[in-house]
Amino acid sequence: MAEAAGQDAAGGEGAAAAGGSAGPSGAQKVLAGVLVAISAAMGAATYQALNPEKPVLEAEEGVDPSNPFPELGGAFDAVSTADGAPVVTEADLLGKLTLLYFGFTHCPDICPTELTKLSKALRRLETVEPELARHVQLVFASVDPPRDTLELMRKYVAGFHQRLVGWTGSDEQMARLAKAYKVYVRALSADEMAADDYVIDHSMFTYLVSPEGHVVELFGADNTPAQIADAIFKWKPSLAL
């Protein structure tokens, strides 16, 4: 089902549905290394957003501030809840700023918490920078396509913000999208899938994608709506408003 995406990582909700383990496997050690690297990068990106006079990303030799995470992103296609846009691809990220979060509608706590936070950030922009806010796209991409049907996604996203759109599709489509953004999704057993009340352990970062389609910021659970809105404002010049 959602097995392909589980081979890349960028953090996690916690293995609430997983059992114990005698020790870390080789794959777990690789995952830990990726976690450390991306967490450090996320910290640098967030620090730069809060301290624009100190260009942290530029301080590291060879890092392009307009594309600080070149390993994130790539070709994909999915089905969107947006009116008149049933199929979306990487081209739909161009020309606007996008807040992209991966999760699932049956998530008991973290996903709704993060989507509420992102919705508050967008509302903050709509109040103080309405023109900028009109060029911000808020996206919730499913890591659970078997349950996250288009109809369910439409109902779910409507409960957060009128501008929030949901992306879903086939198992293959959503695994390809998750893999492009190095999203960790724990593979489920057949017994877990059959229960239909399973919880998916997955990454919980939000990606800020530039008008050029590059990931330029990563936000975690500790970032506030105000911090996210401020980071988006920093990229206003990229829209030539």
Residue ranges of the annotated binding site are 107, 111, 202
209 three-state secondary structure: strand
Number of other CB atoms surrounding residue 89 within 10 Å: 12
Structure tokens that stand for 97 in this block: 């700023």
Angle, CA 33 vertex, CA 27 and CA 39 arms, to 5°: 130
Binding site listing for Cu cation = 107, 111, 202
Residue with tokens 């509420």: 116
Integer Cα distance of 175 and 87 in angstroms: 16
- What is the three-class DSSP state of 156? helix
